[in-house]
Structure 1
Amino acid sequence: MKKYLNLSLIYAIAAMAGGVFYREFTKWNGYTGVTALGKVHTHLFLLGMVLFLIVALFAAHTDLKEEKLFRIFLKVYNIGVPLTAVMLAVRGITQVLETTLSTGASAAISGIAGIGHILTGVGLILFILSLKKIAKN
Structure 2
Amino acid sequence: MRKLLMTSFVYCLLGLASGVYYREFTKYNDFTGDTQLSVIHTHLLMLGMFMFLIVLVLEKNFQIMSSKNFKLFYYLYNAGLIVTVTLFVIKGSITVLGGTTGSALAGMAGLGHILLTVGLVYLFIILFEKIKK
Same fold (TM over 0.5): yes
Paired residue for 1:134, among 125, 130, 133?
Answer: 130
The equivalent of 1:73 in structure 2 is 73
Moved over 6 A (4+): none
The equivalent of 1:96 in structure 2 is 96
The equivalent of 2:59 in structure 1 is 59
Contact conserved, 2:7 with 2:49, CA < 8 A, in 1? Answer: yes
% of aligned pairs identical?
A: 41
Structure 2-normalised TM-score? 0.96
- Identify which range, 60-69 or 25-34, moves more after superposition: 60-69
Contact conserved, 2:62 with 2:131, CA < 8 A, in 1? Answer: no
RMSD across aligned C-alpha pairs, in angstroms?
Answer: 0.9
Write the deviation string for residues 69-118 of structure 1: whole angstroms up to 9, x where unpaired: 222100101100011000011110111111134xxxx1221111111010
Distance in 2, matches of 1:75 and 1:81, equals 10
The equivalent of 2:48 in structure 1 is 48
Distance in 2, matches of 1:129 and 1:38, equals 33
AA matched with 1:42: T
Shift of 1:61: 2.0
Q: Which runs of 5+ in 2 are unaligned?
A: none
Distance in 1, matches of 2:12 and 2:44, equals 7
Shift of 1:129: 1.5
AA matched with 1:133: E
Distance in 2, matches of 1:7 and 1:37, equals 22
SS of the equivalent of 1:68 reads coil
